[in-house]
Amino acid sequence: MNKESFIKYTVAFVLIFGAAMSRMVPHIPNFTPIAAIALFGGFYFDKKFAFIAPLGAMLVSDYFIGFSSDWMFVYGCLLSIGAMAVMMQSRKSAAVVAGTTLASSALFFFVTNFGVWAMQSWYPKTAAGLIDCYALAIPFLRNTVAGDVFYVAAMFGIYEAVSALVRNTRTAAAVN
């Protein structure tokens, strides 16, 4: 591995680790880095590592904060979000990342709240119960979108800034 790749992977690891650890400090409900980690892995890593990094981050942080009864829906969303990002890697732009971020928020909302309805006894297992579950979760959607946008902007922005710095340093060294 060359120095540039080493620096990029180190920065990526630190960003993913830091985002995962942020789940363990008090925060606004659903204002988390979950989708951002999956998007970051999917946009910046090869296919294998794109899925290992976010799942590993989730497993480590869930080990400490606890697994929810609908964990399979959350982890399934992570895999789906990572897959969306992998499919969009070749078209990465600010607009594509923004659109994928919002699509991830919507996917997470619909899938995980379906999981809450299916796995918890809080709602009747009827169409009306499912509608109630989604309706009562709308305030959390606002936090999910805000968290996704914040963490995606932070992770992608920091990574791109460090990558540009490494490229500029390499170019400056080659010129001298």
Question: 39 to each of 35, 51, 71, 157, how far by Cα in Å?
Answer: 6, 10, 19, 13
Per-residue model confidence (pLDDT) at position 49: 76
Residue 174: per-residue pLDDT: 63
pLDDT of residue 137: 95
> Residue 66: left (phi > 0), alpha (psi -120 to 50), or beta?
left
CA distance 151 to 117: 27
Domain edges within the chain:
3-164
**Cα 124 to Cα 129: distance, rounded to the nearest angstrom:** 5
Nearest partner of 126 among 117, 137, 113, judged by Cα = 117
Distance, in Å, from the CA atom of 150 to the CA atom of 66, rounded to the nearest integer, reads: 24
What is the Cα–Cα distance from 80 to 137, expressed in whole angstroms? 21
For 82-117, the three-class secondary structure string (H helix, E strand, C coil) is HHHHHHHHHHCCHHHHHHHHHHHHHHHHHHHHHHHH
What is the per-residue pLDDT for 175? 61
Of the candidates 62, 99, 63, the residue with the CA atom closest to the CA atom of residue 81: 99
Question: Residue 70: its pLDDT value, please?
Answer: 82
pTM of the model: 0.83
Q: Compute mean pLDDT per 10 residues along the chain, 176 residues long, and list them.
A: 73 77 82 88 82 82 83 91 92 94 96 93 96 95 95 91 80 62
